A and B are shown apart, each in its own frame.
Chain A
Amino acid sequence: MSVIIDENTKIIVQGITGHQGSFHSGEMLKFGAKVVAGVTPGKGGMKVHDVPVYDTVEETLVHEPDATMITVPAPFVKDAAFEAMYNGIRVVYILTEKVPLHDALDIVTYARSHGHVVIGPNGPGITVPGKTKMGIMPNHIFKKGTVAVASRSGTLTYEIVNALTLNGYGQSTVIGLGGDRITGLNFVDVLELFEKDEDTEAIVLVGEIGGTAEEEAAEYIKAKVSKPVVAYIAGRSAPPGKRMGHAGAIITRGKGTAESKIKAFNEAGVPVAEFPWEIPQALKKVYK
């Protein structure tokens, strides 16, 4: 069992002929993912890494896809996501950054009321080591294991996964939630999945300043999570009112500070590492 996707998940890539779409489809195939088709309007009939390309999502249905990776430019993301959901594709991962907030709102609202899962926008995707990968996380850092990771960032996730692997902690599932203000999944959603997942024994959360997702996660952990959890929070040095790269990473009106998040985690019995490389040590204390 794994979370959201597994080795049997059939993936299509919307925007497969673009630079990002084509490169990462290749990396996904190398990782063992079942990339069954690609979509680029006007490019039907082409092949990318031997994967057939179609003009529409509807035409890819002959391959019975379960999930899509969307890599099209921001102004076309809403259209692409709705095309996928209308055609019954269950999991929609959006790699694209700078998706308009109200487009993300419409996509996530529809998904939640119709039973679709949205990952992103503006995240590195989801990796199930030894099984499959949908997204852009570098293949070489992973090791199959029992620690689940959920993160609001990209590169920092790789940093932490790498540290886990080097210290002998393999991963069950690694999910990048996305750095935007509205994302399909938040920490509480994935905590629920990780708690149920038989392959997961411990959980690492990588949060950052902005919003209250970490505080809500802490409450949820207190009430419903039995597995050990450790965390890292980025942005303790960020000044209020300054957006630190991610659309979501901003301290506004005194809300969303690192202090508040660290305090909430500590109160929920979740150790918060000071430095990214200390995550394995923190895990050792609460897990094994």
Chain B
Amino acid sequence: MNLYEYQGKALYRKFGVPTPEGYVAFKPDDIKDVTKDVVIKAQVLTGGRGKSGGVKFASTRDEAVEKAKEILAMEIKGHKVRAVLVEEKLKIEKEYYLSILIDRSTRAPLIMASPDGGVEIESVPDERIFKYRVNPEIGVQPFVGRALSKKMGFTGDLAKQFTKILMNLYRMFREYDAELVEINPLVLSEGKLIAADSKVVIDSDSLYRHKDLEENAEEKTPLELEANKAGYAFVELDGNVGVIANGAGLTMATLDTLLLYGLKPRNFLDLGGTDSVDITKNAFTYVLKANPEAILVNIFGGVTKCDTVAQGIIAAKESFNIDMPIVVRLSGVHEEEGRKMLEEAGIHAFADMRHAIEKLKTIMEGSQ
């Protein structure tokens, strides 16, 4: 789950990582008196807001209210602005970069620090990014801060500040189950290192133990959210073939195969390992809401029994009055019974994926 900048910064402060003074405003009325220059920043779950006009400055309250109104009405790259963050305008002497993420290939947390902050880290040359692989059994001890400080060019008090920020950030990374914490830029302002921005991604599977975090709607469509809530892994795509399959890998392989056959999937729906008529039947609810022109069901039954799936498909066809073509591939436990039931109900059923998709292609080409 991505956090908004203001949520990420609230966590930074909780863990002793300095941030600019400020507050979040959800409506123009929330804007307080302006005593020194402020920056007003769009709170939106996407990057590049600066270039889109989502960051503005103000010197008076009226000006701040005006700018906040403008930003709150904006949509940036299709994302609605949730709020504005109003902060003191910092005197920036230099911008750095600091992040911690889980590196999949080394199966360890990875610290990345660069003296070239303020820009997309992808654009910074490799030799200017200092990496440190954390051994989680050791954690981040002060020596890590000293080593990185040396490379970053921090000495004396700044090295101490940097080490403290790094250790606190790592503590937050671990305690809040983060996939990523990023400070870009980490600014040097009047002798202090301050986190001027925050990007925090929390592992969604850990949210049950972080009840203090408010759940942000992910970048999902309403239909995706609805289907996810019902327990289906579901992703909307832009084609016209509704897809129901079991297992994430097989579902992906089904979408890939459709495309290679010149057919376009409308969705990804993973039924999971189920042996329930209702779970199968209800999956059709979400696929139908996506308005496909045909539906492909691809099941390789291990735990899932084919006759159960067949019952679910027949139940869906009857109760949702589906008259578009449905092509089913059923393989695995009780596959013959399953296919027989489907054929008796007038639904095309095949033992292998290839013939099912070829049949679907014939049907769809015939209907054009």
> Which residues does A use to contact B, with CB under 8 Å?
23, 74-75, 98-103, 105-106, 108-110, 112-113, 124, 136-138, 140-141, 151-159, 162, 179, 181-182, 186, 206, 208-209, 211-213, 216, 232, 234-239, 241-249, 253, 258, 274-277
In the complex, whether B149 has a CB less than 8 A from a CB of chain A is no
Using known A-B contacts A212-B105, A237-B255, determine if residue A158 contacts B235 with beta carbons closer than 8 Å: no
B105 touches A162 (CB 8 A): no
A253 touches B108 (CB 8 A): no
Extra contacts, 7 of them, besides A153-B247, A159-B353, A277-B353 (Cβ < 8 A), are A100-B203, A159-B250, A159-B331, A242-B235, A245-B233, A275-B354, A276-B253
Q: Sample 16 A-B pairs with CB under 8 A, ordered by A number.
A: A75-B208, A100-B203, A101-B179, A105-B102, A136-B273, A140-B333, A158-B332, A182-B104, A182-B107, A186-B107, A213-B104, A234-B249, A244-B233, A244-B235, A244-B248, A275-B354
Which 9 residue pairs spanning A and B have beta carbons closest together?
A: A153-B249, A155-B247, A245-B248, A156-B249, A138-B302, A100-B206, A155-B250, A234-B252, A245-B233
A75 touches B249 (CB 8 A): no
B331 touches A162 (CB 8 A): yes
Please give the distance in Å from A27's CB to the nearest CB on chain B. Answer: 9
Q: Most B CB atoms within 10 A — which of A98, A245, A249? A: A245
A246 touches B249 (CB 8 A): yes
CA distance A239 to B219 in the complex (A): 13
Please give the distance in Å from A67's CB to the nearest CB on chain B. Answer: 21
A108 contact set on B, CB distance < 8 A:
107
In the complex, whether B135 has a CB less than 8 A from a CB of chain A is yes
A216 contact set on B, CB distance < 8 A:
105
B63 contact set on A, CB distance < 8 A:
none
B268 touches A244 (CB 8 A): yes
CA distance A206 to B249 in the complex (A): 9
Closest to B255 in A: A237
Q: Which of B104, B246, B259, B353 contacts A276 (CB 8 A)?
A: B353
In the complex, whether B312 has a CB less than 8 A from a CB of chain A is no
Using known A-B contacts A105-B108, A237-B259, determine if residue A181 contacts B252 with beta carbons closer than 8 Å: no
Using known A-B contacts A208-B252, A245-B251, determine if residue A101 contacts B206 with beta carbons closer than 8 Å: yes
CA distance A105 to B170 in the complex (A): 14
Closest to B301 in A: A138
- B290-309 contacts to A, CB under 8 A, are 300-303
Closest to B269 in A: A245
Closest to A275 in B: B257
CA distance A100 to B256 in the complex (A): 29
In the complex, whether B122 has a CB less than 8 A from a CB of chain A is yes
B interface size (C-beta, 8 A): 51
Please give the distance in Å from B48's CB to the nearest CB on chain A. Answer: 14
A153 contact set on B, CB distance < 8 A:
247-250, 252
B332 contact set on A, CB distance < 8 A:
138, 158
Q: Mark B195-215, 1 if CB is under 8 A from A, else 0.
A: 000000001011011000000
CA distance A248 to B273 in the complex (A): 18
Closest to B208 in A: A75
DSSP class of B's interface residues: helix, strand, loop or mixed? mixed
Q: Mark B112-137, 1 if CB is under 8 A from A, else 0.
A: 00000000001000000000000111
Closest to B235 in A: A242
Q: Which of B102, B235, B300 contacts A181 (CB 8 A)?
A: B102
B205 touches A136 (CB 8 A): no
In the complex, whether B109 has a CB less than 8 A from a CB of chain A is yes
B136 touches A155 (CB 8 A): no
A208 contact set on B, CB distance < 8 A:
248-249, 252
Q: Which of A109, A124, A136, A245 contacts B252 (CB 8 A)?
A: A245
CA distance A75 to B177 in the complex (A): 13
Q: Which of A74, A213, A236 contacts B205 (CB 8 A)?
A: A74
B256 touches A162 (CB 8 A): no
- B251-300 contacts to A, CB under 8 A, are 251-253, 255-260, 265, 268, 270, 273, 300
In the complex, whether B337 has a CB less than 8 A from a CB of chain A is no
A186 contact set on B, CB distance < 8 A:
105, 107
Q: Which of B137, B251, B302, B352 contacts A109 (CB 8 A)?
A: B137
CA distance A100 to B202 in the complex (A): 10
Using known A-B contacts A100-B206, A156-B250, determine if residue A213 contacts B268 with beta carbons closer than 8 Å: no
Closest to A159 in B: B300
In the complex, whether B174 has a CB less than 8 A from a CB of chain A is yes
Closest to B179 in A: A101
CA distance A102 to B206 in the complex (A): 9
A136 contact set on B, CB distance < 8 A:
273, 302-303
In the complex, whether B217 has a CB less than 8 A from a CB of chain A is no
B147 contact set on A, CB distance < 8 A:
none
A213 contact set on B, CB distance < 8 A:
104-105
B109 contact set on A, CB distance < 8 A:
105
A245 contact set on B, CB distance < 8 A:
233, 235, 247-249, 251-252, 268, 270
A101 touches B256 (CB 8 A): no
Please give the distance in Å from A66's CB to the nearest CB on chain B. Answer: 23
Please give the distance in Å from B276's CB to the nearest CB on chain A. Answer: 12
Please give the distance in Å from B44's CB to the nearest CB on chain A. Answer: 15
Closest to A163 in B: B352
Please give the distance in Å from B11's CB to the nearest CB on chain A. Answer: 15
Please give the distance in Å from B136's CB to the nearest CB on chain A. Answer: 5
Q: Most B CB atoms within 10 A — which of A157, A186, A234, A238? A: A234
Q: Mark B236-254, 1 if CB is under 8 A from A, else 0.
A: 0100000001111111110
Q: Which of A113, A159, A212 contacts B104 (CB 8 A)?
A: A212
A155 touches B203 (CB 8 A): no
Closest to A140 in B: B333
B249 touches A152 (CB 8 A): yes
Using known A-B contacts A98-B205, A100-B205, A275-B260, determine if residue A249 contacts B248 with beta carbons closer than 8 Å: yes
Q: Most A CB atoms within 10 A — which of B177, B179, B249? A: B249
A102 touches B248 (CB 8 A): no
B137 touches A236 (CB 8 A): no
